[in-house]
Amino acid sequence: MYNFSYANPVKIIFGKNTIKEISNEIPKDVSVLVVYGGGSIKKNGVYDQVSKALEQHTWFEFAGIEPNPHYETCMQVVDLIKSKGIGYILAVGGGSVIDAVKFISAATFYEGNATEILTKQVKVNKAMPFGSILTLAATGSEMNNGGVITIAKTQDKLAFSLPVTFPKFSVLDPTTTYTLPAKQTGNGVVDIFVHVAEQYLTYSEEDTLFQDNMSEAILRTLVEEGPKALKDPQSYDARANIMWASTWGLNGWIGCGVAQDWATHMIGHEMTALYGLDHGQTLAIVLPGIMTVLKDQKAKKIIRMGKQVFGITGEADNVIIDKTVKKVELFFEQMGIKTHLSDYGLGGDAATAVADRIDKRGWKLGECQNITGSVVREILEIRL
Ligand code: NZQ
Ligand code: ZN
């Protein structure tokens, strides 16, 4: 196990009817900006609950953060914050809204060109305080300090993470996810699965048994509860388990002391930027490809996953590996998320374009930094 240091300051408020608790979490002596997406919160009652909880606050709102949020939109919000003298932000929505608010909170105080937070990974030491109300279980953004923002002008989808962009609190009321379209429930479960895989399915040192067991618990939970949420969108228990699994998937706990991959995500971000695929869709295409092309490097962990998550036993190692990759693909398909480029009208040109972008960025991805552009092409070509 590698050495690590870890701190996470996010207060989690979990359960039914908990949105009202924000009135005690947000200071009353500053103006609040409520930031949300395309309007789902107005249809499912979340907006009304927020309005009621903020009755004693002075607050304004910004609607229209798009999925895969744009830098350009975020900067409109920065202008609004400055013009209204806002002192606290509340993000209400999925990962896109929370990520946007993280970026906005840092960009508000950054004196240079805020694209540098994305393109140069500059460190910003001050950010506006913010809290979140999560309505889509997927990203883990509710309990981490990272975000992903797209610069629309250049089609660059880039990640950032800053010590100052942890939410002060996040409200996780699983009932808010009852209204998710099936596609978003599926995308979310795939995203959580892949977050865990990125921190678990690496070369094996065989010395992180605790983290491996925790990761497998999350994966098994998704395999059990994901299909239940699709079948019965108002199953509180399924929604609650998936929501808590999403937080655990990327709040840093299972990543302590282990090797980490993240190639599936980096390749996926390029696919979203170029072709507009949902985040979860890109991951469902790429992960089975990575598991296949890098099966020797990842053999021990793929076999572990096959046995511990999918219950495959009594076979030769190479058979377990092939069956596990197939099980992962079938699980994503069972969640309603297609796993091949052709399912989205993409072909070999897309494989080449994405590979070229990885080369152009000079990236060598994966836990062994051996996934170059040509390996990316190989990965995507077997996913046509
Ligand atoms: O915009 P509204 O109208 O709210 O609709 C959203 C959006 O269209 C809808 N939705 C959300 N909650 C709903 C709902 N519809 C009905 N009922 C509800 N309760 O769902 C759509 C997708 O929302 P979005 O926030 O884009 O989805 P998600 O949470 O999957 O976030 C994806 C973004 O997060 C980034 C991704 O790259 C992508 O940009 N990620 C952030 C990470 C992080 N901060 O740690 C890590 C992840 O790997 C990921 O990269
Ligand atoms: Zn993700």
User: What confidence tens digit (pLDDT) does each residue in 77-105 have?
Assistant: 999 999 999 999 999 999 999 999 999 99
What's the gap in Å between 310 CA and the centre of ligand 1? Answer: 28
pLDDT band at 204 (very low <50, low <70, confident <90, very high): confident
Query: What CATH architecture does domain 11-176 belong to?
Result: 3-Layer(aba) Sandwich (3.40)
Q: What is the distance between the alpha carbons of residues 25 and 74, in angstroms, rounded to a whole number?
A: 24
With pLDDT > 90 as the criterion, what percentage of the chain qualifies? Answer: 99
Average pLDDT, the chain: 97
Please, is 349 exposed, middle or buried when counting C-beta atoms within 10 Å of its C-beta (0-12, 13-18, 19+)? Answer: exposed
Rounded to the nearest angstrom, the distance between the alpha carbon of 135 and the centre of ligand 1 is: 8
In contact, 258 and 200? CB cutoff 8 Å: yes
Burial label, 309 (beta-carbon count in 10 A; 0-12, 13-18, 19+): buried
DSSP class of 344: G
> How many Cβ atoms are within 10 Å of 94's Cβ, its own excluded?
27
Q: Which of 8, 10, 40 to mutate to test the pocket of ligand 1 (most atoms within 8 A of CB)?
A: 40
With residues binned 3-state (H G I as helix, E B as strand, rest as coil), the percentages for the chain, rounded to 5, are 50, 10, 35
- What is the structure's pLDDT at 205? 80
Instruction: Judge whether residue 73 has pLDDT over 90.
Output: yes
**C-alpha of residue 222 to centroid of ligand 2, in Å:** 15
Which residues in the chain are classed under CATH 3.40.50.1970?
Answer: 11-176
- Residue that is written with structure tokens 């009932």 in the block: 175
Read off the pLDDT of residues 12-46 as tens digits, 9 standing for 90 and up.
999 999 999 999 999 999 999 999 999 999 999 99
Q: Which two tokens stand for residue 34?
A: 């409520």
In tens, the pLDDT along 257-286 reads 999 999 999 999 999 999 999 999 999 999
Dig out the tokens for 348 from the structure: 């070999």
Confidence check: pLDDT of 377 > 90: yes
3 state DSSP class of 231: helix
The residue whose CA is least distant from atom 49 of ligand 1 is 139
Which pLDDT tens digit goes with each residue over 117-126?
999 999 899 9
Task: Give kind and range of the element (H or E) at residue 145.
Answer: none
Angstrom distance (rounded) from CA 34 to CA 60: 6
Q: Measured between alpha carbons, how far is 340 from 124 in angstroms, rounded to an integer? A: 39
Pocket test for ligand 1, best of 42, 103, 105, 184 (most atoms within 8 A of CB): 184
- Distance of CA 128 from the midpoint of ligand 1 (Å): 22
Q: How far apart are CA 48 and CA 1, in angstroms?
A: 47
Q: For residue 245, what are its two tokens?
A: 């699994």
Is residue 166 within 8 A of residue 144, CB to CB? The reply is yes
CA of 285 to the centre of ligand 2 (A): 13
Smallest CA-to-CA distance from 295 within 285, 284, 306 is with 306
Confidence of residue 157 (pLDDT cuts 50, 70, 90): very high
From the list 254, 158, 149, 241, the residue with the least C-alpha distance to 211 is 254
Residue 182 has pLDDT above 90, yes or no: yes
**CA 287 / ligand 1 centre spacing (Å):** 20
Ligand with minimal distance to 92 CA: 1
**pLDDT confidence tier of residue 206, bands split at 50, 70 and 90:** confident
Q: How far apart are CA 305 and CA 311, in angstroms?
A: 9
Coil, strand or helix at 60: strand
For the chain, the straight-line distance linking the first and the last C-alpha, in angstroms and rounded, comes to 37
Question: Which atom in ligand 1 lies closest to the alpha carbon of residue 137?
Answer: 29
pLDDT band at 209 (very low <50, low <70, confident <90, very high): very high
Superfamily of domain 182-381: Dehydroquinate synthase-like - alpha domain (1.20.1090.10)
Q: Let me know: does 79 contact 52? Beta carbons within 8 Å.
A: no
Length of the chain: 384
Q: Considering just the CA atoms, what is the radius of gyration of the chain in Å?
A: 20
**Pocket residue to mutate for ligand 1, from 19, 41, 47, 96, most atoms within 8 A of Cβ:** 96
Ligand 1 cavity residues, CB under 6 Å: 37-41, 44, 67-68, 93-97, 99, 135-136, 138-141, 144, 146-148, 176-177, 179-180, 184, 187-188, 191, 250, 265, 279
Cα-to-centroid distance, 267 and ligand 1 (Å): 18
Closest Cα partner for 376 from 308, 297, 294? Answer: 294
Nearest to 65 by CA among 122, 1, 150: 150
Token pair of 1 as six digits: 């196990």
Over the stretch 213-246, which tens digit does the pLDDT of each residue have? Answer: 999 999 999 999 999 999 999 999 999 999 999 9
Task: Say if residue 154's pLDDT is above 90.
Answer: yes
Q: Of all protein residues, whose CA lies closest to atom 34 belonging to ligand 1?
A: 95
Residue 69 CA to ligand 1 center (angstroms) comes to: 9
Residues of the chain with CATH 1.20.1090.10: 182-381
